[in-house]
Structure 1
Amino acid sequence: MTVPTLPLAGVRVVELDDGDAQYTGMLLAALGADVVKVEPPGGAPARSAGPFVGGVDDGAHSLPFLHYNVAKRSVVLDLDRPADRAALHELVAAADVLLDGLGPNGAAAHGLDDDTLEVLAPGLVHVLVTPFGRTGPWRDHRASDVVSMSLGGVTGQTGYDAVGDEPGTPITPVGHQPRHFGGVLAAVYAVAALRDRPAHRVRTLDVALHDSIAVSTEIPVSLWEFGGQEVFRHTGRHAAAVLHNPEWQFRCADGGYLCALTLYLNDRRFAAILDWFDGAGFAHDLHAERFVAEADRVANMAEIVDAIARFCAGRDSVELFHEAQRRALPWARIQPVAAVAADPHLHAREFFTPVEGPDGTPVPHPGLPWRGMPTVFTAPPGRVRAPHAGEDTATVLGTLRAADPVAGG
């Protein structure tokens, strides 16, 4: 049996990171790159990020760390020691990519400034992932999930409806979305740069999480740029230039919710709803003359929303989703996290892949959203799990001509 060649097989990546770049490293490792994560003595700070498997905070049970560092190798270096700093320089000199999440000047603090890199590693792709980039008045500012989402515009368009004369309250989605979105872009740019990298200089890719979020704010940017229109926040819905759009989230008989879009209710969609209601024997008044034209439906949307709400209240959310699909209606069940984890469609596509957990037993790991190209999950070259702190130090540094043997391997 022929083992498929991984797309980035043979690509060497050195990862220096405080958290912003580790998702990029995971994506490159999943494609077959040899990603060597350089950690300080005691392990990276990310190993202390909760939640923890079994509630155990010992540097080996961090759930985020186990996810974001799967398929990498770990080298522990004390960069305050000249010998360890020399070993880091040896690693970078032999690398194709330096993945740098230490901030605008983080790598330079370890002797890896731009001029040194040009001499040390010509042809290197230096991928710098920072909150605000290397330039601009905010370059030295620090950020968190809340800061990035707020400054990037996402918080400004998500939140709750206005109540009386009070404006709608903004909310900030959570889940490290800036690191995810910026991490994907950084991985894409890194792969593109590897195809045509200069032979005698370093190519530096300056990826700012702030920029990444600013280009992910969807329609509000276009509305402002081209029409000077500001958007209004709406509870559980897209922001829009029109205030008080009709409700489109409905409670169902099974306790779940259905997201049933009531905007853009054109003649075809409305006819499909009428056919569905009539076929189900559901009592309604939507055949009345005041609902025939689309403009009239907009004016009388409250009655349509009320009918949909009553219809959903008597039916299962899963049944409603599948029936809506048969009628080409943009309605979907709002799935809680547990339902996504049990989603039969994701499991049929083998999205969840068993990966060795901290106690050695397999645990399901969220996979990658594509098929048709091998990854370490489908064609593993060896170990497919997050590394223990420093477990690869001796192996990796054994190939280098370090000035002083590195202890602790």
Structure 2
Amino acid sequence: MNTETTIERAAVTANTSTRHLLLRSVSLRTVVLLAAALVLIFYFQFASEGVFITPNNAALLIRQTAAVAVVAAGVAILIIMGEIDLSIGSVAFLAGLVAAKCQMAGYDVPTSILAALAVGAAIGLVQGLVITRLAVPAFVVTLGGLLLWRGVGLTWTDAAAIGPVTSEFSALTEGRMPAFMAVILVVIVMAYGVLTSFLKHRAAKRRGIAVPAGVLTIPVICAILAVGLLWIAFMGRGVPNAIFWIAGIVVALDFTMTRAQFGRRTFLVGSNHEAALYAGIDVRNTVLTGFVLMGTVCGIAGIMLIARVGTSTADSGINLELTAIAAAVIGGVSLRGGIGSIRGALMGAFLLTTIDNGMSLLGVSSYAQNVVKALILVLAVGLDSYFTRRQLLGK
């Protein structure tokens, strides 16, 4: 075992007790989010006179959640490491525009996807290099990127719509999977929930700590999701392919943050920057990797946005960064860094989309919807501060 790894593990161990205290508040947040989502679902079902809980509206909810969930999972990683990205919507717009241009030029779907991913990753690399090598704050760099990348796309197209894309491209998110695929997906979801809960329960017992309440909710959430998928598959027109994008990205990033060395280093960098340096962690490369990953996720989001609408428009991805950051924070990702989870960000995205969908069914204006989401965001941050203080003070 090399010296760097030994020092790194020692630093992680030194922060373990504090992290356990803080993770209890995140677990409590998971339970609260689940309860809030259920209350909202039943309220909208009653207020909409039975329109909200229908297979077709549930499928629509999945498609609406998809892009937000993907970018919320990506930005959660940056916030955990103490960074931020305000250029998400503009990068997704430019990456989607490149995909649409490829489609209009006659390229096939895989080539269009690779082009969008390459653009997103390249932008993430550029912004990450400026942040880590030139020591420019991420807030400033990505705020500039918010203006720059959309400006590049609008100048390139003279703000004209580009499209439509082929039906094969639109099917990436808007297509419906066969019933047997839905059954296989349900089996995978249930197996994932049971296995994840078991491993976390065993790890908590091995460390001699109380099992977080959030661990017990994982099988419950997976069971609800499994029943919902079967209901949509057999009672509606089928489960949208968008669910594959959500599941694939969330599972991959969750594995990265909980099982991979990069995830451990990300938490340490966000919770204690100086300790990470003393542990021998290459903080600059860790942050750079985070921004390249975020850029790639933005490329995926751009593909999903274009597939959903079928055309690249000038307003594609506007305010996506604000919604994604709000979803991550509502899902328990602390703006102080070092605390959060990918699953929490997913739940935050689902909660916000549920509010959008439900209020739209009730005829509430988009302006009023923004007011409600703003109040929820402020309340979530306030509760985060309150529970964090209580946990650290041992009250």
- Name the TM tier (shorter chain): under 0.3
Higher relative contact order (CA 8 A, sep 6+): 2
Could you state the TM-score of these two structures normalised by the residue count of structure 2?
0.22
Q: Which structure has the larger Rg?
A: 1
Q: Of Structure 1 and Structure 2, which has the larger fraction of its residues in helix? A: 2
Could you state the TM-score of these two structures normalised by the residue count of structure 1?
0.22
